[in-house]
């Protein structure tokens, strides 16, 4: 809960900084960045709520669990696709600087974000449709331990999600690899080491690290199920460890990549934090 609270404060201050300055609205890079921040904040809040509910209540209503699980899956699967979009934006800005203003506009960025969330919503919606067809109507009125494998336990859902995961991983990994190689070639072709090229290369590399951590979310369910079957008396401890490694640690990278490393955003973000701290201090009036 303390980790969730700390990240919520950081993400909230970043969103406020973005909303207070209109020129951020017209930059595709910052639009996708703030979309990533909001997505990660919502995903971490939902996953934290699921774990707290599982520890306190053990079992909840299946329909409520379905809403929480589907939204958590949507936000989790959106992260790799947003990373791919941010890497492509960096690739265009470095390799096609003259066409950047025409290719990357705010309208196209919002359209891309809509397509990303539509693609990410496909797996949970199909999970729900298959469960509605396969399960009896009273299933959604029962009480269950809120877990994806227990809620959507049909075998066809497992194979379908494996296909989706392989497709998503391949697409995002190839996108990051391609953009990183192109940016590296652009850096070597330049007569001098441009700071913007080197910064973009490091950004895409950090995206790759973040992608590897996010991809653990697609491997963990099978590994977690196997470990719980071997050590059923440690089921809550196993879930908790995977929760920290898979869902919490990768969320620290999003603020670091742009919030701390981006000079322009860091300048306005630090100004907001300084003004916020100075506004909270009280000045005692003195009668002259």
- Most confident range (mean pLDDT) of 16-25, 113-122, 254-263 is 113-122
Do residues 144 and 62 touch, judged by C-beta distance below 8 A? yes
pLDDT in tens, 98-108: 888 888 888 88
pLDDT in tens, 127-168: 899 888 888 878 888 888 887 778 888 888 888 888 887 887
Do residues 230 and 224 touch, judged by C-beta distance below 8 A? no
Does 284 score more than 60 pLDDT? no
CATH architecture of residue range(s) 2-274:
Up-down Bundle (1.20)
Question: CA 173 to CA 92: how far, in whole Å?
Answer: 17
Alpha carbon distance, N-terminus to C-terminus of the chain: 48
Which of 86, 85, 90, 157 lies closest to 119, judged by CA? 85
Of 137-146, 175-184, 253-262, the range with the lowest mean pLDDT is: 253-262
Return the percentage of the chain with pLDDT > 90, whole number. 3
- In DSSP notation, the chain reads -HHHHHHHHHHHHHHHHHHH-GGGGG-HHHHHHHHHHHHHHHHHHHHHHHHHHHHHTS-EEHHHHHHHHHHHHHHHHHHHHHHHHHHHHHHHHHH-GGGHHHHS-HHHHHHHHHHHHHHHHHHHHHHHHHHHHHS-GGGGGSEE---HHHHS--HHHHHHHHHHHHHHHHHHHHHHHHHHHHHHHHHHHSSS--HHHHHHHHHHHHHHHHHHHHHHHHHHHHHHHHHHHH-GGGHHHHHHHHIIIIIIGGGGHHIIIIIIT-HHHHHHHHHHHHHHHHHHS-------
| Prediction pTM value | 0.80
A 10 A CB-CB count for 73 gives 22
Residue 7 — very low, low, confident or very high, per pLDDT cuts 50/70/90? confident
The pLDDT assigned to 65 comes to: 86
**Residue 148, both tokens:** 């994806």
Which of 46, 126, 119 lies closest to 80, judged by CA? 119
List the domain boundaries for the chain.
Answer: 2-274
CA 42 to chain centre: 9
Residue whose pair of structure tokens reads 């879930």 in the numeric block: 239
Kindly list the distances between the CA atom of residue 60 and the CA atoms of 29, 137, 140, 146, 179, in Å, as whole numbers in the listed order.
40, 17, 11, 7, 45
The pLDDT assigned to 115 comes to: 92
């Amino acid at each position: 809960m303390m980790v969730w609270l700390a990240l919520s404060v950081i993400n909230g201050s970043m969103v406020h900084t973005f909303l207070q300055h209109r020129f951020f609205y017209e930059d595709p890079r910052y639009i996708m960045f703030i979309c990533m921040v909001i997505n990660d904040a919502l995903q971490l809040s939902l996953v934290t709520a699921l774990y707290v509910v599982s520890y306190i209540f053990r079992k909840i209503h299946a329909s409520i669990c379905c809403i929480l699980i589907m939204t958590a899956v949507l936000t989790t699967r959106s992260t790799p696709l947003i990373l791919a979009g941010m890497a492509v934006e960096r690739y265009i800005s470095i390799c096609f600087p003259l066409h950047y203003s025409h290719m990357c506009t705010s309208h196209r960025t919002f359209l891309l974000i809509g397509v990303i969330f539509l693609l990410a919503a496909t797996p949970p919606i199909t999970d729900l449709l298959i469960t509605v067809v396969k399960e009896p109507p009273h299933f959604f009125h029962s009480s269950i331990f809120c877990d994806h494998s227990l809620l959507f336990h049909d075998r066809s859902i497992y194979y379908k999600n494996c296909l989706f995961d392989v497709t998503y991983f391949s697409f995002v990994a190839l996108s990051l690899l391609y953009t990183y190689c192109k940016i590296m070639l652009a850096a070597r072709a330049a007569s001098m080491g441009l700071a913007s090229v080197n910064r973009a290369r490091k950004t895409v590399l950090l995206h790759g690290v973040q992608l590897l951590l996010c991809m653990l979310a697609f491997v963990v369910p099978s590994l977690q199920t196997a470990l719980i079957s071997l050590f059923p008396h440690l089921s809550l401890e196993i879930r908790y460890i995977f929760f920290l490694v898979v869902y919490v640690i990768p969320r620290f990278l999003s603020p670091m990549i742009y919030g701390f490393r981006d000079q322009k955003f860091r300048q306005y973000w630090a100004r907001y934090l300084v003004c916020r701290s100075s506004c909270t201090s009280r000045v005692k009036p003195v009668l002259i």
